[in-house]
Structure 1
Amino acid sequence: MRVTADEATTTYAEARAELLSRPGAPGAAKRRALTALTDDWLHALYVAAGAGEIGAALVAVGGYGRGDLAPGSDLDLLLLHSPSVSASDVTAVADRLWYPVWDAGLRLDHSVRVPAEARRLAAQDIKVVLGLLDARTVVGYDNLTKQLRESVLGDWRALAPRRLGELHYGVTERIERSGELAHLLEPDLKESYGGLRDLVALRAVAASWVTDAPVAALAPHRDLLLDVRDALHLVTGRSSDRLLQQEQVAAAERLGLEGDDPSDHLLRSVSAAGRAVAYAADTTWHRVERLTRRGGVRASLAGTARRLRGPRVERAPLAEGVVVQDGEAVLAADARPEKDPVLVLRAAAAAAQAGMRLAPHAVERLARDSAPMPEPWPAPARDALVSLLGAGRPAIPVWEALDQADIWSRLMPEWAVVRSAPQRNPVHRFTVDRHLVETAVQSGPHTRRVNRPDLLLVGALLHDIGKGRPGDHTEVGIDLVRVIAPRLGFSPEDSATLVTMVRHHLLLPETATRRDLDDPSTVAGVATAVGDVDVLDLLHALTEADAAATGPAAWSDWKKALIDDLVGRTRAALAGRPRAEEIHVTAAQVRLAEAVRVTTEGGVAVLLDHDEAATTATVTVAAPDRTGLLSTVAGVLSLHRLQVRGAQVDTVTAPDGGRRAVQVWTVTPAYGDPPPIDRLREDLTRAINGSLDVAARLDAREQAYPAPQGTAPPRVDLVPGASERATVLEVRAHDAPALLHRVTRAIAAADVAISAARVATLGSEVVDVFYLVDRDGSPLSVQRAATVRVTVLGELSRT
């Protein structure tokens, strides 16, 4: 007996209400049951409407097509029919189908089309494509649905470069409009970036065959977001997808989440899912752009085929164990993460410094195979962390890649607590962990203002590490950093500075905005708390970076003026900046120079001491002193891909009465082992006697290196009163190949001698001090010193 539409609708309404009222948390099983129940109802309506008599197919599209029906979902339906059916017959059938749905109180998104018309609309509207990619026949003539899906898929793949660009543009617009799911206190589960719409977009990318998209791997995150949406619909009785704060506790309880604050648990889970989806989307869109930019999809697919059957693609070295392939940082063929615990950080730093992403397969291997990091961390590991943080905005996707693989929690167990932790303050625009990384990135432009850029970057990363735990986050953070800093390999003195930064990271803004700056006790209290100018400078820079990472509401010109005033008064109270210390080679270094004098060839003595355990080497060079010698040696070291981590240079009187420059360099091979000492000595001798054009060789090689992105501009200062015997020039810049050679070459070109120097590379930031004298050994005149400063700054600013 044929069931009437009214009877079918009454039965469906009762069964639907019973299903949705069942106890227990929402889940995939209930969504499947609701989808099957709805399919059965629509089947009855189809029969009652006589749709089978006109050869039609009732097609579910969009979320209903995927079986993702939520309690408040629309029904997205398409009635497909043959062109031979009359318009009046189709209209009559459609009315008999749609009205019972409206009468049941459900929202309906409906259309009636012939396959060719639906295909034409899909070519014009990206939303139609996204709906039809998941089309399935609920009841009726499935051949119509198959015909439409095949034609739409064929068009989608044929026009993928243009249409994917259109889809990506819509994604970027939506980010501006709806924000990032992972960092919102009231996220939109569908529209926010990392939400359900991005999962649909990734399915569309995968269907285009342009590149893989990790759709299957994201299934658990998709299920969680769908579960949360179902719970939200059930507790509110509405179809809204925005997770408002007043509804989070009830939604969390409906999901069965427990704990002192179930809403915190809910937001952490939503944030983690949103981050995973957003990271997958970022990676996928990056590859789509790269592939479609290089001559189209066909060219990229043909290139892939050639690589599979032909010679291996050339991999340009980036760091030890890290190479560049297809615009991404990957592990070299001979890399051994299971034997090289620092590789994970070295790869991350190299990728970020080059403005690249770490390839997903490289991240997977590092997560799977990396050896445990020794404690305390070796110096190269600490330097790599600082280099990563100092890379600017490119550090964020690299950090996120390692975080998605849970690598940071292994390297720094305290990180697990702040990961995806919500900030219950609308002033903050990021979760706790992302805020910490953002603060480190925002610190980059301030590294020229402090004597220890490495402490600024790491202090910025750790300043709120105490959040997400019971108690005052500053006090908790102090205790944590007392453990973390020594584990990272910082000295007791540096560890104490990092603890001070955490203890007082709110001191300047709170004092400047809440206390009377004209009261002498206010400035005295701040001076006592910070102790010295170096710490004051670190806190000043951290304060501005913290505010920039928090959000626009955290900073203003008024607040900046107050803090600058407080810092200026405190600096005066601390009696200004300490004088730069005089530089002299040690007695041991002089003895070392004397020990190698017997091996002198052409007046040049070289000694190479390689510490394999520390992956560093010490190169001692003794040679007759002359203008430009420091630049020449720095250039030769760079030619041999020896990265300068530190150098101390002075001039001594040799036993024969001649003046000899003694240079002690601490270097790290960019990859591989240091060069043989005979080869290094030969090249140094040739460069000093003029038969090797170091500058030309370096200039040619420099073109192959990507320029650092988003780094602070260089800074060159004359330090008045720092020395009685020389003019002191201080250079702060982002490290780059042959940077020291360029700086010292500019100084030599001004016919100025470097009587002593102290070179330090802290992560990827250089802080170099040069003692300059005229030909007669006297300090430079004011005018000449200013000219040298401008010359060096011009060289550093050259692109």
Structure 2
Amino acid sequence: LAILAQPDGAYRSLKMMQQCGILARILPAFGRITGRIQHDLFHVYTVDQHTLFLLRNLGQIWANETPQMPVANAAREQVEKPELLVLAGLFHDIGKGRGGDHSKIGAQEVRRFARRLQLSPRDTELIVWLVEQHLQMSGVSQRRDLEDPQVIRDFADLVQDERHLAHLLLLTVADMRATNPELWNDWKGLLLSTLYRATASELQREERQIRDLPQLIADKQHFVMGKITSMDQPRARALWQHLSGPYFLRYTEDELLWHCQEILAHKSRKTLVAVRPHEPEGSEILIYGSDRPGLFQQITGALDRQSLNIIDARIDTSEDGRAIDTFLVIDNSHAFAHSAQAHADLGAELRAIIEGETTSKPRFGPRHRDPRHRFFANIPAEIRVDNRALPRYTLLEVRATDQLGLLYQVGEALRALQLNIHGAKVSTFGERVEDTFFILNERGRKLTDAQAKALTQTLGNILNGKAA
């Protein structure tokens, strides 16, 4: 434990022990993952290499050798015994290659090891919990709507206290950064920070009761009213009376203010397309205009042609038939975010699509042409439809190799089945994407069992190239 108590030195010590074969003797389960290749699109290291790089990342966090998220520094102050975090990192993937859930297998292994070390029940419970839940924070941050209060309450119920939350954040950051050096970006860090702060606030409340949602909406509206002129306030109220409560819950006060200012300043009857920089990276696109079936895939096709990667989408329709859609996009060349002409060209194209003056046909085919991607390109897409994961929406999850036109194909399948997208999150892991959609049927309700089955089959046929 003395070696593990200094995270910045634990990596070097354990790496030397692994190279000499000592680590596998002390910990036979580690020997079973040594040299084990991970057959997926986002792990570029063997399991033992990935584990050691995770420990290296923990050491860098403690030594302040890499730029840190402010929340990571705050979380580090919550850690009294760094050796427990190092132990969790050492065991987090140790169950891989045995069949079954590697998180549960790892939790069993670390419990046995904790007994050998004679750890206290409290410390044992923490590291067992960390190993078993080590994938949860990345999953929730990238695949759930973090503006939904219920999502935050559910995650707070999972972590229970700030001690568990802080340890889980640090383990998650170190794990994600050790998976593939090209996968970590500021957007993923922002999502984790948002989830951490929201959950910490929820845990700090004296009474963990469901907050009065009408009051929460009223508070956001009051903030916006305080930032606009008295002449614009009646127009803002007129705009809001056609919007439902979930619209206000899914956006921050700053985002709602931006929407209101752009819409009220827009004098034309044609579609509004507004673009602004998004911190820490990317661009935020607001679209306000007449709604119609198939709009989502038309917009995604236009964005794809501009080589813009969509990482978040929120879709709303007002009672008077107006679409209020926002897309968060990243341009890997960073040219779009700094080009006023590119913004104007995209706005003109999107307006023409929404006004029905033209159609948008996306490009199809592989986004990457390197040998690694071609090797995995024929792996079938995985489709999961879940009615229990979210209180309001049916959850659709699509895992597939990264392809041009993928979002367009998903949108086309939903349009054909008369299903509506209300939100989307896109996570890219190298050549693999994990897309999450929040959907309702034509009656504004969760999908029936028959609709869920039809969606799974239709989408599987489209994405896996089978005849319908």
Q: TM-score range by the shorter chain?
A: 0.5 to 0.7
Amino acid at match of 2:52: D
1:608 to 267, 270, 275: 275
Partner of 2:127: 529
Contact 1:459 1:501 in 2 (8 A): no
The AA in structure 2 aligned to 1:775 is: E
2:67 corresponds to: 487
Correspondence 1:660 to 2:315: no
1:726 to 363, 387, 393: 393
Q: Which amino acid aligns with 2:459?
A: V
- The answer as to whether partners of 1:648 and 1:664 remain within 8 angstroms in 2 is yes
Shift of 1:651: 1.6
Distance 2:320 2:126 in 1: 50
Shift, 1:792, TM fit? 2.4
What's the counterpart of residue 20 of structure 2? 424
Shift of 1:462: 4.7
Deviation per CA, 1:698-725: give whole Å up to 9, x if none. 23xx378637234465332222323343
In the TM superposition, residue 587 of structure 1 has moved relative to its aligned partner by 3.9
Unaligned runs of 5+ in 2: 1-7, 25-31, 77-83, 96-104, 114-118, 139-170, 176-245
One of 310, 316, 336 as aligned partner of 1:651: 316
1:717 to 2:384 alignment: yes
Superposed CA deviations along residues 406-453 of structure 1, whole A, max 9, x for unmatched, are: xxxxxx99999999998233999xxxxxx99976x61636x7xxxxx9
1:634 is aligned to 2:300:
yes
Q: Secondary structure at the match of 1:723?
A: coil
Which one-letter code corresponds to 1:740 in the other structure? L
Structure 1 unaligned residues grouped into runs of 5+ = 1-411, 429-434, 448-452, 467-473, 547-581
> Whose Rg is larger?
1
Q: How has the CA–CA distance of structure 1 residues 785 and 503 changed in structure 2, closer, same or farther, with 3 Å as cutoff? A: same
Q: State the percentage of identical aligned residues.
A: 18
- Classify 1:414/1:792 alpha carbon distance in 2 versus 1 (closer, same or farther; 3 Å): farther
Out of 463, 467, 479, which is 2:51 matched to?
A: 463
1:106-159 deviations in Å (ceiling 9; x for gaps) = xxxxxxxxxxxxxxxxxxxxxxxxxxxxxxxxxxxxxxxxxxxxxxxxxxxxxx
Rate the CA distance shift 1:495–1:443 in 2: closer, same or farther, 3 A: farther
Q: What is the aligned counterpart of 2:409 among 720, 730, 742?
A: 742
Q: Distance in 2 between matches of 1:637 and 1:743?
A: 15
CA contact (8 A) 1:716 1:792 kept: yes
Q: Is the 8 A contact 2:287 2:324 kept in 1?
A: yes
Q: Which amino acid counterpart does residue 665 of structure 1 have in structure 2?
A: F
CA contact (8 A) 1:759 1:769 kept: yes
Preserved contact between residue 756 and residue 771 of structure 1 (Cα < 8 Å): yes
Q: Distance in 2 between matches of 1:490 and 1:795?
A: 43
Against the structure 1 CA distance between its residues 595 and 509, is the aligned structure 2 distance closer, same or farther, given a 3 Å change threshold? closer
The alignment partner of 2:397 has SS state of strand
The separation in 1 between residues aligned to 2:90 and 2:14, in whole angstroms, is: 18
- Pair 1:664–1:514, CA change in 2 (3 A): closer
Residue type at the aligned position of 1:590:
L
2:461 maps to amino acid: G
Report 1 or 2 for greater relative contact order, CA contacts < 8 Å, sequence distance ≥ 6: 2
CA contact (8 A) 1:414 1:465 kept: no
After superposition, the Cα gap between the structure-2 partners of 1:413 and 1:617, relative to the gap in structure 1 and judged at 3 Å, is: farther
Alignment correspondent of 1:444: 40
Q: Which residue of 2 aligns with 1:794?
A: 461
- Among 502, 506, 522, which residue is 2:89 paired with? 502
Distance (Å, rounded) in 1 between the aligned partners of 2:334 and 2:110: 53
CA contact (8 A) 2:270 2:355 kept: no
- Given candidates 251, 261, 283, the residue that maps to 1:595 is 261
User: Are 1:782 and 2:449 matched, yes or no?
Assistant: yes
Greater fraction helix = 1
Question: Are the structure 2 counterparts of residues 482 and 607 from structure 1 closer, same or farther at C-alpha, using a change threshold of 3 Å?
Answer: same
CA positional deviation for 1:640: 0.8
Q: Aligned partner of 1:622: which letter?
A: Y
How far apart, CA to CA, are the structure 2 residues paired with 1:498 and 1:623?
50
Task: Say which of 331, 335, 344 aligns to 1:669.
Answer: 331
Distance of 1:767 and 1:734 partners within structure 2: 9
Distance 1:732 1:683, change over 3 A: same
Q: The residue matched to 1:692 in structure 2 has which SS?
A: coil
- Distance change >3 Å, CA 619–CA 761, structure 1 → 2: farther
TM-align CA RMSD: 5.1
Partner AA of 2:134 in structure 1:
V
Counterpart code for 1:673: A
| Displacement of 1:463 | 1.8
Cα 1:599–1:585 shift into 2, 3 Å: same
Normalised by the size of structure 2, how large is the TM-score? 0.52
1:165-224 CA distance string (max 9 Å, x none): xxxxxxxxxxxxxxxxxxxxxxxxxxxxxxxxxxxxxxxxxxxxxxxxxxxxxxxxxxxx
CA distance in 1, matches of 2:255, 2:452: 30
* Letter of the 1:535 counterpart: H
How do 1:757-776 residues align onto structure 2 when only pairs under 5 Å count?
757-761=424-428, 765-776=432-443
CA contact (8 A) 1:649 1:757 kept: yes
How far 1:638 moved relative to its partner? Answer: 0.8
Q: Does 1:698 align with 2:363?
A: yes
What's the CA shift for 1:649?
0.6
Which of 246, 252, 256 aligns to 1:586? It is 252
Give the distance between the partners of 1:773 and 1:682, measured in 2 at CA: 30
Q: Deviations over 1:453-476 (max 9, x none)?
A: 9xx98997552249xxxxxxx7x8
The answer (yes or no) to whether the contact 2:38–2:47 under 8 Å persists in 1 is: no
Alignment of 1:128-147 (within 5 A): none
Opposite residue 492 of structure 1, the aligned amino acid is: A
CA distance in 2, matches of 1:643, 1:604: 22
- Residue in 1 aligned with 2:81? none
- Conserved 8 A contact 1:602-1:685: no
Q: Conserved in 2, the CA contact under 8 Å of 1:462 and 1:481?
A: no
Shift of 1:483: 4.2
TM-score normalised per structure 1: 0.33
